[in-house]
């Protein structure tokens, strides 16, 4: 089966997405997500200007060979742009192969290892009371696992807290919110005082059962993260995510010395090499890499297999800036992967779902990728064309007391 064409579709149904469509001489078409929030056009160009010319005429069934060709052949290896582009090609080729076999993608990976994919919801609020209400609302929707993020007293804008608006579902949160990076103010002291109070209120409201998660979003130093982990131990979190920037692996050893709160890292990682030391030294409990930013299904399987040797479980990233194509492919991976942990579930908007019709479903805290051949996600290019690209950036953080540029 030969690749005869490939198109890069950039659209913005409320936020930007980049989708790669690969066509074959047998009429089968595959889709891959190539969205990199805030740097979308870099990946679109990497694909259309540099990758697509190399794909035409290749055998679509040779997924591994094409992966190696694009990874080794680039010379300049790794990085979010390169690996998102490779991921899009890989995902589209797995979609095609599964369609050619007439099977849902998870069957090609090894079949289902579980009856459904446990997901976690996003509950956020401007203060503790509003956040508790949102956690209870998601508990009532059947979620077994809920992430809680709230505003911090004394800080104007904080990661993970949506702006209440008439045209978006309650709690909707889109971080890429401006045509130039918006500036948030940050105070570690105010956050460290507040976070334990938030979880004391949430845990007492929901009881012992629900899994509670929290995303620190890279904003603490290692010792501050260690302190937060200790302070949160009474509330038994499922995980504390991105407690400190993960460039320095040794930082996580310090966190481990002080707290048993489980740690999740990896949504900004893009190859197994980023993950390797944290997994091998058992400094994390969940690896957050997912299909779109970590080289596709082919590479994500390698990361999961390494993690399984150290009892590290998967916890794929699943924010709304990863398209439904990524969500669909990830759910097939999640249904198969033996060391599955949890899947993030931030429902897309109705506009986005109209662009990307899909077979996956949610019910009572679990998702399922569906049984249609392939990964089960398509693109309506006519609807996509109604939403042209609109430049948008992720925010930056500045220390409130002196304006030092900080981690967002
Ligand atoms: C967050 C993301 O969902 C998460 O865990 O870290 O929302 C992240 O902020 C965005 O994906 C960045 O584009
Ligand atoms: Mg995160």
Q: Specify the DSSP element, H or E, that contains 108.
A: helix 105-109
Work out the number of other CB atoms within 10 angstroms of the CB of residue 166.
4
pLDDT band at 170 (very low <50, low <70, confident <90, very high): low
Residue 132 CA to ligand 1 center (angstroms) comes to 21
Residue 172 and residue 385 in contact, taking contact as beta carbons nearer than 8 Å: no
pLDDT band at 173 (very low <50, low <70, confident <90, very high): confident
Residues of the chain above pLDDT 90, percent: 94
pLDDT per position as a tens digit, 196-246: 999 999 999 999 999 999 999 999 999 999 999 999 999 999 999 999 999
Q: Which ligand is nearest to the CA of 176?
A: 1
Confirm whether 389 is a catalytic residue.
Answer: no
pLDDT band at 175 (very low <50, low <70, confident <90, very high): confident
Mean pLDDT, to the nearest integer, of 334-345? 99
Q: What residue owns the CA closest to ligand 1's atom 7? A: 319
In Å, how far are 75, 204, 246, 277, 360 from 240, measured between CA atoms?
Answer: 36, 18, 13, 19, 27
* pLDDT in the model for residue 174: 84
Length, in residues, of the chain: 408
Q: What residue owns the CA closest to ligand 1's atom 12? A: 37
Q: Which ligand is nearest to the CA of 293?
A: 1
pLDDT band at 178 (very low <50, low <70, confident <90, very high): confident
Q: Which of 15, 16, 175 to mutate to test the pocket of ligand 1 (most atoms within 8 A of CB)?
A: 175
Give me the long-range contacts of 282-286 (CB less than 8 A, separation at least 24): 282/310, 282/311, 282/312, 283/249, 283/252, 283/253, 283/255, 283/256, 284/252, 284/312, 285/239, 285/312, 285/313, 285/341, 286/239, 286/262, 286/312, 286/313, 286/314, 286/315, 286/341, 286/342
3-104: what fold?
Enolase-like; domain 1 (3.30.390)
Q: At what angle do helices 222-232 and 250-258 cross, to 10 degrees?
A: 30
In the chain, what are the domain boundaries?
Answer: 3-104, 109-371
pLDDT per position as a tens digit, 342-374: 999 999 999 999 999 999 999 999 999 999 999
pLDDT per position as a tens digit, 248-266: 999 999 999 999 999 999 9
* pLDDT in the model for residue 258: 98
Helix/strand/coil for 158: coil
**CA–CA dist 15, 388 (Å, integer):** 10
Give the atom of ligand 1 at the shortest distance from the alpha carbon of 37.
13
- The binding-site residues of ligand 1, defined as CB within 6 angstroms of any ligand atom, are 37, 175, 215, 217, 267, 317, 319, 321, 344, 394
pLDDT per position as a tens digit, 81-135: 999 999 999 999 999 999 999 999 999 999 999 999 999 999 999 999 999 999 9
Question: Ligand 2 (ion): which residues have CB within 5 A?
Answer: 215, 267
* pLDDT in the model for residue 172: 72
**CA–CA dist 105, 335 (Å, integer):** 10
Q: What residue owns the CA closest to ligand 1's atom 9? A: 175
* pLDDT in the model for residue 280: 98
Residue 101 CA to ligand 2 center (angstroms) comes to 35
Q: Which of 160, 219, 267, 323 to mutate to test the pocket of ligand 1 (most atoms within 8 A of CB)?
A: 267
pLDDT band at 164 (very low <50, low <70, confident <90, very high): low
| Residue corresponding to tokens 């989708």 | 19
Q: What residue owns the CA closest to ligand 1's atom 2? A: 319
Q: Return all residues near 23 (Cβ < 8 A) that are at least 6 apart.
A: 3, 4, 5, 6, 7, 29
Straight-line distance from the first to the last Cα atom of the chain, in angstroms, rounded to the nearest whole number = 45
Q: What residue owns the CA closest to ligand 1's atom 1? A: 319
Confirm whether 368 is a catalytic residue.
Answer: no
> What is the rounded average pLDDT for all residues in the chain?
97
Is residue 171's pLDDT more than 80? no
* pLDDT in the model for residue 169: 62
Longest dimension (CA), the chain: 62
* Catalytic residue, candidates 71, 120, 159, 360: 159
Give the atom of ligand 1 at the shortest distance from the alpha carbon of 242.
6
pTM attached to this predicted model:
0.98
**CA–CA dist 206, 113 (Å, integer):** 29
Residue 121 and residue 342 in contact, taking contact as beta carbons nearer than 8 Å: no
Q: Which of 246, 316, 319 to mutate to test the pocket of ligand 1 (most atoms within 8 A of CB)?
A: 319
pLDDT band at 167 (very low <50, low <70, confident <90, very high): low
Residue ranges of alpha helices (H) inside 313-398 are 324-336, 350-355, 381-384
pLDDT per position as a tens digit, 299-324: 999 999 999 999 999 999 999 999 99
* pLDDT in the model for residue 112: 98
Note whether 3-104 and 109-371 share their fold: no
Residue 93 and residue 22 in contact, taking contact as beta carbons nearer than 8 Å: yes
Residue 387 and residue 12 in contact, taking contact as beta carbons nearer than 8 Å: yes
Give the atom of ligand 1 at the shortest distance from the alpha carbon of 122.
3
Which homologous superfamily does the CATH classification assign to the domain defined by 109-371?
Enolase-like C-terminal domain (3.20.20.120)
Q: Return all residues near 101 (Cβ < 8 A) that are at least 6 apart.
A: 107, 108, 373
Residue 166 CA to ligand 2 center (angstroms) comes to 26
């Amino acid at each position: 089966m030969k690749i005869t064409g490939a198109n890069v579709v950039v659209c913005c149904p409320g936020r930007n997405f980049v989708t790669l469509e690969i066509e074959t001489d047998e009429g089968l078409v595959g889709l891959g997500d190539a969205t990199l929030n805030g740097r979308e056009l870099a990946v679109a160009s990497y694909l259309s200007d540099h990758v697509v010319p190399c794909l035409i005429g290749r055998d679509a069934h040779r997924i591994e060979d094409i992966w190696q060709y694009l990874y080794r052949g680039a010379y300049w290896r790794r990085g979010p742009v390169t690996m998102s582009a490779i991921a899009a090609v890989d995902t589209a080729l797995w979609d095609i192969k599964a369609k050619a076999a007439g099977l849902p993608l998870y069957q090609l990976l090894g079949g289902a290892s579980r009856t459904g994919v446990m997901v976690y919801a996003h509950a956020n609020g401007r203060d503790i009371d509003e956040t508790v209400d949102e956690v209870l609302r998601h508990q009532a929707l059947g979620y077994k696992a809920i992430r809680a993020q709230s505003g911090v007293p004394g800080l104007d804008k904080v990661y993970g807290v949506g702006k209440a608006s008439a045209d978006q579902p309650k709690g909707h949160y889109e971080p890429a919110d401006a045509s130039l990076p918006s500036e948030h103010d940050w105070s570690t002291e105010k956050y460290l005082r507040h976070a334990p109070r938030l979880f004391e209120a949430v845990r007492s409201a929901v009881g012992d059962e629900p899994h509670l998660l929290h995303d620190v979003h890279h904003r603490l130093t290692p010792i501050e993260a260690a302190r937060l982990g200790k302070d949160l131990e009474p509330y038994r979190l499922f995980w504390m995510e991105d407690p400190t920037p993960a460039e320095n692996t040794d930082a996580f050893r310090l966190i481990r010395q002080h707290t048993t709160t489980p740690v999740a890292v990896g949504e900004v990682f893009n190859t197994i090499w980023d993950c390797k030391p944290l997994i091998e030294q058992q400094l994390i409990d969940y690896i957050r890499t997912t299909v779109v930013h970590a080289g596709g299904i082919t590479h994500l399987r390698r990361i999961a297999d390494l993690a399984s040797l150290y009892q590290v479980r998967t916890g794929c990233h699943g924010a709304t800036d990863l398209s439904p194509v990524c969500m669909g492919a990830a759910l097939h991976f999640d249904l198969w992967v033996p060391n599955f942990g949890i899947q993030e579930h931030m429902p897309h908007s109705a506009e986005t779902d109209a662009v990307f019709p899909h077979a996956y479903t949610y019910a009572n805290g679990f998702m399922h990728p569906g049984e249609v051949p392939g990964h089960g996600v398509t693109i309506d290019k006519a609807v996509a064309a109604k939403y042209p690209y609109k430049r948008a950036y992720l925010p930056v953080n500045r220390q409130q007391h002196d304006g030092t540029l900080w981690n967002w």
